[in-house]
């Protein structure tokens, strides 16, 4: 038996076999030799491509077996069928061996893949940094949640407003001194027709004109003023406006609602009070104070030693404003309030400087 050569099966020359095979015995021994080499090559083929090569070099159309059998003509006529009888089982055996090896190679490939892709479920997971809402957005959501419990629906109102809605409809005439309360940014080239809203109050007019009472609306959003920026003033800030209009609405409703708000936002221990205030669009007007969140009402620098912090302005909607909203002030009454979301956020989280809220410094943001 020839020693098995590890060289590629294709490098072996099958042609010599045909010439050597001149009698039955030599045919038989060459067949046996072929069988042994083929089985060894099949067994050592390490991947499907190599197995294909082995397959075609022995069993293919130009393979050794066919070439060998091509020499059958040199045999005596009666010996030829015997060669066939010898060769056919060998061919079948080799075909079966190739098929078995092919199946095994697929199995091995799968095993390798499974081993490589094994997931160790006991390893600790890779931590996903958790995102968070911007503290202003989060506070706005909390405000909406609290007033939502009392039936207040949150609306959007435009940031670019007409002078008419931002001022005149709210009972602030063009040359009224009360305008000095709001340093306004006008849109260039519009002859002061369009302004960036200085407060969320113009949304009151829009709501009254667009919906019929009973109205319970919350209008949060960004506002702008021509302000010198410091630790407590931004030229860009956030307010939330509230408006309730119905028959028989009184200041007692306002008082009770704002108490609920203060307790919901700052805790049940929070003290509250109304102080007289002035706004052109409400009459009477009040400032709503809560007991100082830092000292609890004793008096400290944060509350200028008064024990109180003003968190919003409010009042009963002025009849002129109701009329401008298309409502009959003889039939309907309402209250309104407006708060600075920035200020509420700063109080909740003890943030000393309003500028931190819009700086978008990640070291600050990640604290929330
Ligand atoms: N718009 C006022 C401001 O920006 C806040 C305000 C006060 C709103 C009283 C109101 C209100 O609705 O009734 O300073």
pLDDT in tens, 292-334: 998 999 999 889 999 999 999 999 999 999 999 999 999 999 9
- C-alpha of residue 338 to centroid of ligand 1, in Å: 4
pLDDT exceeds 50 at position 284: yes
Give CA–CA dist 255/241, Å, rounded.
16
In this structure, the number of other CB atoms found within 10 A of the CB of residue 293 comes to: 19
Please answer whether residues 309 and 293 qualify as being in contact, where contact means their C-beta atoms are separated by less than 8 angstroms: yes
Reported as a pLDDT band with limits 50, 70 and 90, residue 178 is low
- C-alpha of residue 227 to centroid of ligand 1, in Å: 17
Residue 181 has a pLDDT of 67
295-334 in b/e burial notation, b at 16+ Cβ within 10 A?
A: eebeeeeebeeebbbbbbbbbbbbbebbebbebeeeebbb
**Ligand 1 binding pocket mutation candidate from 279, 311, 335, 340 (most atoms within 8 A of CB):** 279
Using the structure block, give the residue that is written with the tokens 């700086």: 359
**Ligand 1 binding pocket mutation candidate from 199, 207, 251, 254 (most atoms within 8 A of CB):** 199
pLDDT by residue (tens digit) across 40-94? 999 999 999 999 999 999 999 999 999 998 888 888 888 888 888 999 999 999 9
Residue 224 has a pLDDT of 96
pLDDT exceeds 70 at position 16: no
Give CA–CA dist 88/306, Å, rounded.
110
- pTM of the prediction? 0.68
> In whole angstroms, how large is the CA radius of gyration of the chain?
46
Alpha helices in 9-134 (DSSP H): 15-20, 24-44, 48-59, 64-70, 80-116
Give CA–CA dist 79/23, Å, rounded.
8
**Which atom of ligand 1 has the smallest separation from the CA of 281?**
13
**Which atom of ligand 1 has the smallest separation from the CA of 317?**
13
Who lines ligand 1 at CB under 6 A? 199, 201, 241, 279, 282, 313-315, 336-338
Reported as a pLDDT band with limits 50, 70 and 90, residue 232 is confident
- DSSP code of 233? B
- Please name the residue whose Cα sits nearest to atom 12 of ligand 1: 337
Share in percent of the chain as helix, strand, coil (round to 5): 45, 20, 35
| Residue in 256, 265, 279 with CA at minimum distance from that of residue 338 | 279
The token duo for 163 is 């002078």
């Amino acid at each position: 038996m020839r020693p098995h050569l590890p060289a590629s099966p294709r490098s072996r020359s099958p042609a010599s076999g045909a010439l050597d095979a001149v009698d039955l015995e030599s045919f038989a021994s060459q067949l046996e030799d072929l069988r042994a080499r083929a089985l060894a090559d099949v067994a050592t083929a390490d991947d499907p491509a190599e197995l294909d090569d082995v397959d075609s070099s022995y069993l293919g159309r130009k393979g050794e077996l066919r070439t060998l059998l091509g020499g059958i003509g040199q045999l005596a006529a009666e010996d030829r069928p015997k060669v066939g009888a010898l060769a056919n089982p060998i061919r079948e055996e080799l075909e079966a061996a190739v098929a078995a090896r092919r199946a095994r190679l697929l199995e091995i490939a799968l095993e390798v893949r499974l081993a490589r892709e094994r997931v160790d479920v006991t390893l600790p997971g890779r931590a996903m940094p958790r995102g968070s809402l911007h503290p202003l957005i989060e506070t706005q959501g909390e405000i909406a949640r609290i007033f939502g419990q009392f039936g207040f629906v949150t609306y959007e109102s435009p940031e670019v407003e007409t002078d008419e809605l931002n001022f005149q409809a709210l009972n602030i005439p063009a040359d009224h001194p009360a305008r000095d309360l709001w340093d306004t940014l006008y849109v260039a080239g519009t002859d002061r027709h369009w302004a960036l809203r200085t407060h969320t109050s113009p949304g009151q007019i829009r709501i009254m004109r667009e919906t019929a009472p009973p109205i319970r609306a919350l209008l949060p959003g960004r506002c702008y003023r021509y302000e010198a920026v410091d630790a407590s003033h931004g030229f860009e800030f956030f307010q939330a406006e509230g408006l309730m209009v119905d028959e028989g609405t009184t200041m007692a409703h306002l008082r009770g609602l704002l108490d609920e708000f203060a307790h919901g936002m700052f805790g049940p221990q929070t003290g509250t009070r109304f102080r007289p205030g002035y706004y052109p669009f409400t009459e009477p007007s009040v400032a709503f104070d809560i007991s100082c969140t830092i000292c609890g009402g004793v008096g400290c620098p944060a509350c200028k030693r008064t024990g109180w912090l003003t968190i919003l302005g409010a009042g009963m909607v002025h009849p002129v404003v109701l009329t401008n909203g298309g409502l009959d002030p003889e039939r309907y009454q309402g209250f309104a309030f407006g708060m600075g979301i920035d200020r509420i956020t700063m109080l909740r989280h003890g943030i000393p400087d309003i500028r931190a809220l819009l700086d978008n410094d990640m070291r600050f943001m990640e604290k929330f």
